[in-house]
Amino acid sequence: MGETFNLVSLPLSLFQAGAGEITEILIVLLIQLSIILAAAKIAGELATRFLKIPAVLAELGVGVAIGPFALGGLSFFGVGPLFPIPLVDGKPAPIPVGNELYALAQIGSVVLLFAIGLETNLKQFIKYAGPATAVAIGGVALPFALGVGATVLMGFDGGGGWTSPQALFMGAIMTATSVGITARVLADLHRLDDPEGVTIIAAAVVDDVLGILVLTVVVGISTTDTFTIGSVGWISFKAIGFCVALTAVGILVAPYLEKVLERFSSTSALLCIPLALALLAAGLAEFFGLAFIIGAFSIGLALSTTRLGHLVEAAMLGIVDFLVPVFFVVMGMLVDVTSMQSGLVFGLIISALAIFSKVVGSGGPALVSGFNLRGSTRIGVGMMPRGEVALIIAGIGLSHGIIGQDLFGVSILMTVITTLIAPTLLVPLFRSGGSGLRNSGQEELEQGAAIAEGAED
């Protein structure tokens, strides 16, 4: 039997004589991408054709299957593993995939949110900004309270009680909402412009801002003695101010940008320059303490008001089809099923509370903001998936030493369950038909009566 070795450390002579380390990394990345894209598209086709479920679920599932904790961590015929877990100081890294692959996946999430922003109706977005804010606040407050309470009552607080870093962190991770996963499902269903769809996307953006603030407070309390209310206020001001300012400036500049790009002889500039602005906004958002996806979404939303936005939206299809599946497959790769065994009961309880807290915490405010029970349920379920946001938060907690492998496994279990259940419930909720607005039924009856009276006359 030949010696088993890691694909990443294969002899350079197998690739190219005299090739350097960068060449080796590139070749490995290309092989990994080929496997990811082929697996994603085959699984997506089978899921949509035979199982009648969104392709995003298949992409997440195939990511788990071929990831470093499953098939991707095995060696075949003395070669492999294909997706080894990187080591940091001799220990497995918090993010169990290579930096290059993870970075490319995050670019996929930026592209996804930019495309979602282009598809979003700005007038609808502004119209439902009030309900969306209420939905986001409810979707942060109740999950945080239940996460902290459950951690203390189940004895996973390390003996520190209600203000322990472990309890506060579990509350923080419960507040997360993955706008990317819900947005993908809504886009597949062509419901992004529905009142519920617009409210979910707007609320998820606000939720992201609030969730980052909560996480910042928790990490600050856990890691430093100089963390003050003043620093929290400054972080809040930067985050909210940046989000509002970027969208406002984008809306003002968009018509002028359209006129400038119309003078370009290269039609590719119509795509590349707006996409460059989205990437720049994403980087600035991260610099100001926000998630980068908010910056990309804000630029897309600003351009959606112009004819240029529609041209860019059509031109983006190829890029979206390439990068977005990579994002969802890599998110599935981060899941370690075996780590969920410790604290399994607590993980199931946290998962149930995670579902309940978003459906009630976000759906309740929607119910009193003009939506009926059908619409508020759609919104609550749409806010349910934690997805990549919770995975990133969990990695931060583990790398800072705030939580151990037991709570990390609980976080992953909660993330997986909410991420898989939400699209599964959301599809039939929208396909069942009917308006989600409280007064729409009465309006339809009145319109029907008026038509009938006109026919009689």
pLDDT tens string 417-431: 888 888 888 888 988
Q: What is the mean pLDDT of residues 147-175?
A: 88
How do residues 255-290 score in pLDDT, each as one tens digit? 888 889 888 888 788 889 999 999 999 998 878 766
Contact 27, 14 (CB under 8 A): no
Query: What residues does each domain of the chain span?
Result: 7-11+19-81, 107-295+337-438
CA–CA distance, 274 with 279 (Å, rounded to integer): 9
The pLDDT of residue 1 is above 70? no
Better pLDDT: 208 or 157: 157
| pLDDT of amino acid 19 | 52
431 CB-near residues (< 8 Å, 6+ apart): 189
pLDDT bin (cut points 50, 70, 90) of residue 392 is: low
Q: Kindly tell me if the per-residue pLDDT of 78 is higher than 80.
A: no
Instruction: Name the pTM for this structure.
Output: 0.74
Q: Is 293 left (phi over 0), alpha (psi -120 to 50) or beta?
A: alpha
| Contact indicator for 431, 196 with CB cutoff of 8 Å | no
For residues 257 and 254, give the distance between their C-alpha atoms in angstroms, rounded to a whole number: 5
Of the two residues 217 and 306, the one the predictor is more confident about is: 306
42-51, 249-258, 338-347, range with the lowest pLDDT: 338-347
Range with top average pLDDT, 85-94, 176-185, 195-204, 394-403 = 195-204
The arithmetic mean of pLDDT across residues 101-106, rounded, is 90
Amino acid (one-letter) located at 256 = Y
Q: What is the mean pLDDT of the chain?
A: 81
Helix, strand, coil percentages in the chain from 3-state DSSP, rounded to 5: 75, 0, 25
User: Measured in whole angstroms, how far is the alpha carbon of residue 382 from the centre of its chain?
Assistant: 12
Out of 1.20.1530.20, 1.20.1070.10, 3.40.640.10, 3.90.79.10, select the CATH number for domain 107-295+337-438: 1.20.1530.20
CA terminus-to-terminus distance, the chain: 91
**Packing angle of the helix pair 405-431, 55-66 (nearest 10 deg):** 160
Which residue did the predictor score with more confidence, 259 or 235?
A: 259
Whether 75 has a pLDDT exceeding 50, the answer reads yes
Percentage of the residues of the chain whose pLDDT score is greater than 70:
84
Confidence of residue 313 (pLDDT cuts 50, 70, 90): confident
